[in-house]
């Protein structure tokens, strides 16, 4: 069953946006000093995001040992010497974290001084947009703002209604809390034709991905040449329970919302839950970890629904999963250093895709295999899809590189979506022109 709806995240004391309630910013500044006076959603007063650059292997190893500390939230994981690591630290835990770092002579800088300032700005933007009339069609939809789950679902219905011969909505399953797992199918006819899969929002706090996915959905119907021969499937909100929770309770929520028996900690990392060296290095067996892999492979309905769909379809030729942040384009593997047999082609295509992406705004991306570019990670989606025979398996990490992290300002949604679209087109056109 779907959980009961809490008050709208933009309201205070149940008042509707635009009503007589005090302004959001005023409310937050009045109550920030006393967390117990605030709704649960407003949890980040004075939380900081620290940047650490390990200088040697000893520091690197120590930072890896800190990744599952309950006092921190890793935003940008430990990779290699000289590559930044970003962690969110609640203000009450800052002293103990600093002691840990100082014990190894590890220096840090502050990327975000007060996370709540960014949260205020983000929510005030949504609050302002909510005062306007609801869009009547997808042309009037505001693609340059962040949207709630219900608004994205309404957008999907409008897009289907406007393109009845080209776009349909299929429900591939239900989330743990009973929400529909909607997938948009773009097709000119036929069944089980060669197809491309795109998903966004598997990690719920990565809002720029769901926002970009919505913009992609508006663009896809114009891909006449590809759609004459292939289908495209797009799941915009891959983790709807988590996404809903980021709007209602905790903006920084990453995982699913399924309870873990024997633990007070909720949720599984849906990108450590796939049957690709499940439970191996780079995932955690601790239910309280942000990287918790779950009790078994495909334990999460949000994951199993995609697994079942991909297997039943049997003709997916490209699988593209879109995350944020760090500005990366990745291909398998994450769980082993053994190169995939198609590495040369995947690497060449990734290089072309990020070159095309950079042609719009000059945004710089790194590219390569997961394990070589970021870190060892088991149980990831594109490792599983590649092992299922889907050659063109890629994962994006969109903007930025840590100035805003998961709180990318809304004025960067469209630039992010537009430049990413160029890279997507490169991968999709290559898939279309190189059947296998």
Query: What are the DSSP calls for 275-300, one per residue?
Result: SSSTT-TTSBS-TTSTTB--SSTT-S
Asked if residue 83 is part of any domain, the answer here is yes
Domain span including residue 260? 135-433
Which residue in this structure is represented by tokens 């309404």? Answer: 154
| Claim to verify: residue 103 and residue 163 sit in the same structural domain | no
Residues 104 and 219 in one domain: no
CA angle at residue 181 from 219 to 191, to 5 degrees? 65
**Residue 174 near residue 222, CB atoms below 8 Å:** no
Q: Do 155 and 220 belong together in one domain?
A: yes
Distance CA 63, CA 397 (A): 22
Segment 199-216 shows an average pLDDT of 99
Could you tell me if residue 123 is inside a domain?
A: no
Percent share of the chain, pLDDT over 70: 90
Give the pLDDT confidence of 210-228 residue by residue, as tens digits.
999 999 999 999 999 999 9
Give me the helix-helix angle, 149-162 and 240-248, nearest 10°.
Answer: 130
The domain tally of the chain equals 2
Q: Per-residue pLDDT averaged across 44-70, rounded?
A: 90
**Is the same domain home to 107 and 245?**
no
pLDDT at 44: 59
Q: How far apart are CA 394 and CA 371, in angstroms?
A: 13
At residue 223, the pLDDT reads 98
Residues designated catalytic? 397
Q: Comparing 38-42, 140-144, 226-230, 429-433, which segment has the lowest mean pLDDT? A: 38-42
In a domain, 208, yes or no: yes
Whether residue 203 is found in the same domain as residue 260:
yes
**Mean pLDDT confidence for 352-366:** 99
What angle, rounded to 10 degrees, do the helices at 207-219 and 149-162 form?
Answer: 10
Clarify whether residues 172 and 261 are in a common domain: yes
Give the pLDDT score at 131.
Answer: 81
Give residue-wise pLDDT tens across range 320-346: 999 999 999 999 999 999 999 999 999
- Look-up of token digits 């598997």: 202
* Angstrom distance (rounded) from CA 108 to CA 101: 8
254 and 332 co-located in one domain: yes
pLDDT value at 93 more than 50: yes
126/109 Cα distance (integer angstroms): 30
Answer yes or no: do 98 and 211 share one domain. Answer: no
Average confidence (pLDDT) over 197-205: 99
Q: Residue 160 maps to which CATH number?
A: 3.40.630.10
Please state, in angstroms and rounded to a whole number, the distance separating the CA atoms of residues 103 and 69.
16
Residue 118 lies in a domain: no
Give per-residue pLDDT as tens, 1-41. 333 333 333 322 333 233 333 333 333 333 454 444 443 34
Instruction: Read off the tokens for 417.
Output: 């979506």
Q: Is residue 285 part of a domain?
A: yes
Residue after which a domain boundary falls, among 113, 148, 167: 113
Mean of pLDDT values over 42-47: 66
Q: Which residue has the higher pLDDT, 191 or 225?
A: 225
Pair 426, 350: CB distance under 8 Å: no
The pLDDT tens digits for 241-285 are 999 999 999 999 999 999 999 999 999 999 999 999 999 999 999
Query: Which pLDDT belongs to residue 432?
Result: 98
Is residue 177 located within the same domain as residue 73?
no
Whether residues 54 and 149 share a domain: the answer is no
CATH number at residue 58: 3.30.70.340
Residues 6+ apart with CB under 8 A from 58: 104
C-alpha 393/C-alpha 389 separation (Å) is: 9
Distance CA 215, CA 143 (A): 6
User: In percent, how much of the chain has pLDDT > 90?
Assistant: 83
Q: What is the pLDDT of residues 104-129, one digit of tens each?
A: 999 999 999 999 999 989 988 888 88
In whole angstroms, give the CA distance from residue 235 to residue 172. Answer: 10
Is 8 contained in some domain? Answer: no
15 in any annotated domain: no
DSSP letters, 103-125, are HTT--EEEEES-HHHHHHHHHHH
**18 within domain boundaries:** no
Q: Are 274 and 380 in contact (CB under 8 A)?
A: yes
Residues 83 and 151 in one domain: no
Task: Give the pLDDT score at 272.
Answer: 98
pLDDT > 70? residue 195:
yes
Residue 160: helix, strand or coil by DSSP?
helix
- Both 275 and 380 in a single domain? yes
């Amino acid at each position: 069953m779907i959980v009961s709806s809490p008050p709208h995240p933009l309201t205070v004391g149940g008042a509707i946006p635009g009503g007589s309630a005090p302004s959001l910013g005023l409310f937050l500044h009045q109550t920030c000093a006393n967390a117990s006076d605030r709704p649960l959603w407003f949890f980040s007063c004075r939380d900081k995001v620290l940047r650490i650059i390990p200088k040697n292997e000893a520091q690197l190893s120590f930072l890896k040992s800190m990744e599952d500390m309950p006092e921190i939230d890793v935003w940008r994981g430990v990779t290699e010497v000289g590559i930044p690591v970003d962690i969110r630290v609640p203000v009450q835990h800052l002293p103990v974290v600093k002691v840990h770092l100082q014990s190894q002579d590890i220096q840090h800088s502050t990327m975000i001084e007060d996370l709540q300032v960014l949260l205020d700005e983000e929510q005030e933007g949504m609050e302002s947009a909510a005062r306007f009339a609801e869009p009547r069609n997808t042309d009037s939809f505001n693609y340059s703002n962040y949207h709630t789950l219900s608004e994205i679902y309404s957008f999907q219905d409008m897009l289907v209604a406007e393109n009845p011969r080209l776009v349909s909505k299929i429900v591939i399953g239900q989330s743990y809390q009973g929400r529909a797992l909607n997938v948009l199918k773009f097709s000119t006819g036929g069944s089980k034709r060669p197809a491309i899969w795109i998903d966004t929002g598997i990690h719920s706090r990565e809002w720029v991905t769901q926002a970009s996915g919505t913009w992609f959905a508006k663009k896809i119907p114009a891909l006449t040449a590809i759609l004459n021969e292939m289908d495209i499937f797009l799941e915009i909100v891959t983790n709807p329970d988590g996404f809903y929770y980021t709007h209602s309770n905790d903006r920084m929520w990453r995982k699913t919302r399924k309870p873990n028996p024997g633990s007070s900690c909720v949720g599984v990392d849906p990108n450590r839950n796939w049957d690709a060296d499940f439970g191996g290095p780079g995932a955690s067996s601790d239910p309280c970890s942000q990287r918790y892999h779950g009790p078994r492979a495909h334990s999460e309905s949000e994951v199993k629904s995609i697994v079942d769909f991909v297997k039943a379809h049997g003709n997916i030729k490209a699988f593209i999963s879109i995350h944020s942040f760090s500005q990366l384009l990745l291909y398998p593997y994450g769980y082993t250093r053994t190169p995939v047999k198609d590495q040369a082609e995947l690497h060449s295509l990734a290089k072309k895709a990020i070159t095309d992406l950079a042609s719009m705004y000059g945004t710089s991306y790194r590219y390569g295999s997961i394990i070589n570019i970021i870190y060892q990670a088991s149980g990831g989606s594109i490792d599983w899809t590649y092992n299922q025979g889907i050659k063109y398996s890629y994962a994006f990490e969109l903007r930025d590189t840590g100035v805003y992290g998961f709180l990318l300002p809304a004025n960067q949604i469209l630039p992010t979506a537009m430049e990413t679209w160029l890279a997507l087109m490169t991968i999709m056109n290559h898939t279309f022109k190189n059947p296998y």
